[in-house]
Amino acid sequence: MARVSSQYRDVIVAGASAGGVEALKTLVATVPADIPAAIAVVLHLPAGGTSALATILRRFGTLPVVVAASGMPLGRGRVHVAPPDHHLLLVDDQFVLSHGPTESGHRPAINALFRSAAVALGPRVTGIVLSGVLDDGVAGLVAIRDRGGRTVVQDPRDALYSGMPRNALRHLTPDHVLPVADMGAALNELVREEVGVGAGSSASASMRLEDRIARLGHPSVDHEAEGMGERSVFSCPDCQGTLNELNRGQGWYRCTVGHAWSEEALLAAQGDVFERALWTALRSLDEKANLARRMHAAAVQRGDHWSAGRYGRTADETNEAADVLRDRLTALPDRQVESGS
């Protein structure tokens, strides 16, 4: 009988958000220079401008760090960083940059990288979730696990922002939960594990479709026709289109354009929409009160006391409503900001 050829867990994908720069600096510093694996990193970044992440990480450890580009092959012993406003994806053994739909409001998104790695490389992949708020990376980490890869989560007590690690621990039992300083040694062992060709389960149809959306940005995806979900009562914060609930009970949504949302991210985004609406309403009330006061003064000047009284009452009532709304806004709890800085 012919011997089944083998391969190794030679691809590491890592995702971080708020507090992630510090976590990534420590990770890069602790990974051995001779590690026989390629490393790909997504840090949540604002869409505009440039990122200094690659420059920062080059100062730590001995691994070369590059900004990933489409068509760039996986380089063992090298760190590949996602550029702003592009999903970093894996197709076969090379990188692809995509301007596909945002996921939980992010591009680059951690889930997009993790999912593409799971689809393309299966058990060869080790996924790492680091510091951050909300839950980007959780669905991708589940995809890696389902394809036979390994999963690592930063110990929430070690993270500057524990939301992403805690949410990961809510949804799966990772292979390792570690402080970042201990990950280098663990990864050096994981990447030397041998896996048989064809090991791990096949990527599901829904996983492949979501990967295709991130890569190609297919418009007007009919998730119901694809058997991926049902129409929900919620709307997409990015485009106001109707969201479909994928895999009911899993807390994951996509609109027909392709924007993806977790329940945690959708809740936060709807809170932002609500707050913006309140500020818009407050501005409108302030402008209405100012206009009513000007009209009141003009009516008084021309001796039109009836109109002056009406405008004065309007100004007083509008001011009262604005004060109530202003108190409501100042009482809103502070929210952590998703940022890689």
Catalytic entry in 10, 87, 116, 136 = 136
Secondary structure letter of residue 5 according to DSSP: P
Q: Are residues 298 and 252 in the same domain?
A: no
Whether the Cβ atoms of residue 57 and residue 45 lie closer than 8 Å to each other? no
Q: Are residues 182 and 276 in the same domain?
A: no
Question: Cβ contacts of residue 264 below 8 Å, gap of 6+?
Answer: 104, 134, 135, 167, 251
79-81, strands of its sheet edge to edge: 65-67, 79-81, 38-43, 11-16, 125-129, 150-154, 176-178
Q: Which two tokens mark 201? A: 């389960």
Is residue 214, in this structure, part of any structural domain at all? no
| Position 113 pLDDT exceeds 70 | yes
Is residue 86 among the annotated active site residues? no
Specify the pLDDT at position 340. Answer: 39
pLDDT band at 248; cut points 50, 70, 90? low
Is residue 222 among the annotated active site residues? no
Q: Are residues 98 and 241 in the same domain?
A: no
- Per the DSSP assignment, residues forming a β-bridge with 65 are 79
| Position 335 pLDDT exceeds 60 | no
Is residue 202, in this structure, part of any structural domain at all? no
Catalytic entry in 44, 86, 176, 259 = 44
Please give the residue range of the domain that contains residue 223. Answer: 219-258
Judge if pTM exceeds 0.85. Answer: no
d(CA 276, CA 274) in angstroms, rounded, equals: 5
Q: Are residues 275 and 253 in the same domain?
A: no
Q: Are residues 175 and 146 in the same domain?
A: yes
Is residue 213, in this structure, part of any structural domain at all? no
Q: Are residues 89 and 238 in the same domain?
A: no
- Per the DSSP assignment, residues forming a β-bridge with 229 are 246
| Position 259 pLDDT exceeds 60 | yes
Catalytic entry in 17, 98, 116, 262 = 17
Domain count, the chain: 3
Q: What is the mean pLDDT of residues 273-296?
A: 86
| Position 212 pLDDT exceeds 80 | yes
Last residue of a domain, one of 258, 285, 310: 258
Secondary structure letter of residue 101 according to DSSP: -
Q: Are residues 144 and 187 in the same domain?
A: yes
d(CA 136, CA 104) in angstroms, rounded, equals: 7
Q: Model confidence over 36-80: pLDDT tens digits? A: 999 999 999 887 767 899 999 999 988 999 999 999 999 999 999
Is residue 175 among the annotated active site residues? no
d(CA 272, CA 199) in angstroms, rounded, equals: 44
Is residue 212, in this structure, part of any structural domain at all? no
The enclosing H or E element of 307 equals helix 305-330
- Per the DSSP assignment, residues forming a β-bridge with 12 are 39, 126
Last residue of a domain, one of 164, 196, 228: 196
Is residue 2, in this structure, part of any structural domain at all? no
Specify the pLDDT at position 316. Answer: 93
Secondary structure letter of residue 158 according to DSSP: G
| Position 226 pLDDT exceeds 70 | no
Q: Which two tokens mark 24? A: 């990534």
Q: DSSP letters of 189-219?
A: HHTT-EEETT-SPPPPHHHHHHHHHHHH--S
Is residue 300, in this structure, part of any structural domain at all? yes
| Position 280 pLDDT exceeds 90 | no
Q: What is the mean pLDDT of residues 320-337?
A: 72
The length of the chain, given as a count of residues? 341
Q: Are residues 227 and 306 in the same domain?
A: no
Last residue of a domain, one of 163, 196, 229: 196
Pairing of strands 150-154, 176-178: parallel
Mean pLDDT of the chain: 88
Q: Model confidence over 300-324: pLDDT tens digits? A: 999 999 999 999 999 999 999 888 8
For residue 188, how many other CB atoms are within 10 A of its CB?
A: 16
Secondary structure letter of residue 60 according to DSSP: S
Whether the Cβ atoms of residue 341 and residue 17 lie closer than 8 Å to each other? no
| Position 279 pLDDT exceeds 90 | no
Provide the percentage of residues in the chain whose pLDDT is more than 90.
Answer: 62
Q: CATH number of the domain at 22, please.
A: 3.40.50.180
Q: Are residues 145 and 235 in the same domain?
A: no
Whether the Cβ atoms of residue 136 and residue 107 lie closer than 8 Å to each other? no
Least confident range from 84-88, 232-236, 272-276, 322-326: namely 272-276
Q: Are residues 252 and 150 in the same domain?
A: no
Q: Are residues 28 and 153 in the same domain?
A: yes
| Position 288 pLDDT exceeds 80 | yes
> Looking at per-residue confidence, does 324 or 229 come out higher?
324
Is residue 208, in this structure, part of any structural domain at all? no
Is residue 167, in this structure, part of any structural domain at all? yes
Peptide bond connecting 108 to the previous residue in cis, omega within 30 degrees of 0: yes
Q: Are residues 88 and 124 in the same domain?
A: yes
